[in-house]
Amino acid sequence: MEKTKKFLLPESELPTHWYNIMAEMPTKPMPMIHPGTRQSITAEDLYPLFAKGLVDQEMNRTDAWIEIPEEVREKYKIYRPTPLVRAYNLEKALDTPAHIYFKNESVSPVGSHKLNSALAQAYYCKEAGVTNVTTETGAGQWGTAMAFASKVFGLDLAVYMVKISYEQKPYRRSLMQTWGAQVVPSPSMSTKAGRKIITERPNYQGSLGTAISEAIELAMSTPNCKYTLGSVLNHVSLHQTVIGLEAEKQMEMAGEYPDVIIACFGGGSNFSGITFPFLRHNFKDGKKTRFVSAEPSSCPKLTRGVFQYDFGDEAGYTPLIPMFTLGHNFAPAHIHAGGLRYHGAGTIVSQLMKDNFLEAVDINQLDSFKAGVLFAQTEGIVPAPESAHAVAATINEALKAKEEGVKKTILFNLSGHGLVDMSSYDQYLAGDLVNYSLTDNDIAENIAQLEKIL
């Protein structure tokens, strides 16, 4: 009998609501705190920076289901529902009894899951009468998503792109420009924050922290302008739950339920997206699915960080956020999975981790690319360097199942493809990449600096 490889949902099965896990968490996340007043952050504190609809979602701890506006659903149809795929060819290569499924978010026109939140954010900005938006991008996945989403909803977007990426990742820059965004290498002369840094360090190659500062400054000083962010925040995780909600229906079509769900971990957006809808069945229906985040060994916030109030950005401009962190001034090695180089985990994920609902593993750079190449050679798709961490963790689980001789159903999120990151595969194949290790001391010293914060 012929085997089904891809489980496809018709557009009529596109989720009508996002799942807001905050409403159902056994322990709610602690609030963000204003670093000056030491008071809990309120919606009013956030309205100047973000569109109202997004702030209200950020603060909503009571409604488990939040309706997806019809205009957003219409735009989701450009690429959603995305396929759930049984990785038969990978299973065969590993000779494992495990059944491996992946949710293929790489089919979005921007090549990653980031568009799920970008479309929602652009919509709520448009709805609030906003005409201009700003954001920052490091590796470029979020920037490209926001560029297309802004075009779709008729907004003018300015993206501050970390200067070294601007130069090393010209394809991402071209993509943003093709979709009509203005892309500025950061640090730039267009903001006070940028000018200050350029004056002090003329050859500085930029950082996400600096780019955030510039994007925020531009948003605050431009009429009718809001700032947008691609991960970490609650409303971003909320939008990403379309991934898991679709996957839930698709696993049912496949006649299986996942024993383990795996996703790579940067700030937490794709991880939240695929896990939260399943996690609710652990909360309520006695399911015992394991949820495993795969982070890079060089940026191990969940496996080796501490749970602490910390700033969300390097410069310390954001509210204080309760999170697993390596310290906001932690400088991760320059691995190619640029989207995973963030010092902390979002509030919700951090609380769930603290409460033992989640697990975390770390993957070193060479193992991530080795896994990426095997996946490309078996399933065809070249994974983004970030997503290759999830592939590596999946392979480890599948090999463990083989060792133990147990059948196991594994689901992982293929958050994006690597077609615009081929230079990193090039360097891997040429033997030019290395692993980065951190001593306990490196981490402890950086975390020690946090004690004075709160």
Residue ranges binding a copy of itself (CB under 8 A): 2-6, 8, 10-12, 70, 73-74, 77-79, 89, 107-111, 148, 151-152, 170-171, 173-175, 177-180, 373, 376-377, 379-382, 419-420, 422-423, 425-426, 429
Shortest CB 149 distance to a copy of itself, Å: 10
Minimum Å gap between C-beta 10 and a copy of itself is 7
Closer CB to a copy of itself, 306 or 366, in the complex: 366
Nearer to a copy of itself, 182 or 282 (CB): 182
Q: How far is the CB of 185 from a copy of itself (least distance, A)?
A: 15
189, two tokens: 């002369």
Across the strands, what pairs with 291? 261
Q: How far is the CB of 374 from a copy of itself (least distance, A)?
A: 10
Which of 371/450 has CB closer to a copy of itself?
Answer: 371
- The answer to whether the peptide bond before residue 187 is cis (omega within 30 degrees of 0) is yes
Quote the tokens at residue 330.
């932690």
Comparison of 104 and 207: residue with beta carbon closer to a copy of itself: 104
Three-state DSSP class for 160? strand
**47 vs 79, beta carbon nearer a copy of itself:** 79
Closest by alpha carbon to 272, among 353, 348, 324, 385?
A: 348
What's the rounded Cα separation, in Å, for the pair 70 and 115? 16
Q: Which is nearer to a copy of itself, 177 or 449 (CB)?
A: 177
181 or 219: CB nearest a copy of itself: 181
Q: Which two tokens stand for residue 191?
A: 């903001």
Radius of gyration of the chain (CA): 21
* Cis ω for the linkage preceding 81 (within 30 of 0): yes
What does the alpha-carbon distance between residue 77 and residue 414 come to, in Å, rounded to a whole number? 19
Round to whole Å and give the CA distance between 73 and 246: 13
Q: For residue 133, give the nearest of 243, 74, 219, 208 by alpha carbon.
A: 219
Q: How far apart are CA 338 and CA 356, in angstroms?
A: 27
Q: How far is the CB of 81 from a copy of itself (least distance, A)?
A: 9
Q: Given the complex with a copy of itself, which of 104 and 308 has the nearer CB atom? A: 104
Q: Centre a 10 Å sphere on the Cβ of residue 372 and count the other Cβ atoms it contains.
A: 26
Tell me how far apart the alpha carbons of residues 306 and 355 are, in angstroms, rounded to a whole number. Answer: 14
Q: Which is nearer to a copy of itself, 95 or 404 (CB)?
A: 95
Q: What angle do CA 396, 299, 338 make, to 5 degrees?
A: 90
Supply the minimum distance, in Å, between the C-beta of residue 403 and a copy of itself: 26
Cβ proximity to a copy of itself: between 44 and 70 the closer is 70
Given the DSSP bridges, would you call strands 65-67 and 17-19 parallel, antiparallel or unpaired? Answer: antiparallel
Shortest separation between residue 78's beta carbon and a copy of itself, angstroms: 5
- What is the smallest separation between the CB atom of 380 and a copy of itself, expressed in angstroms? 3
Distance in angstroms (rounded) separating the CA atoms of residues 238 and 55: 12
CA distance 97 to 384: 26
Token pair recorded at residue 68: 């997806």
Instruction: Return d(Cα 332, Cα 373) in angstroms, integer.
Output: 24
Q: Could you count the other beta carbons within 10 Å of the beta carbon of residue 360?
A: 22
- For the bound state, the minimum distance from the C-beta of residue 355 to a copy of itself, rounded and expressed in Å, comes to 39
| Neighbouring-strand partners of residue 410 | 100, 260
Q: How many residues does the chain have?
A: 454
Least distance from a copy of itself to the Cβ atom of residue 442, Å: 33
Taking the CB of residue 178, how many other CB atoms lie within 10 A of it?
Answer: 12
CB of 171 to a copy of itself, least distance (A): 4
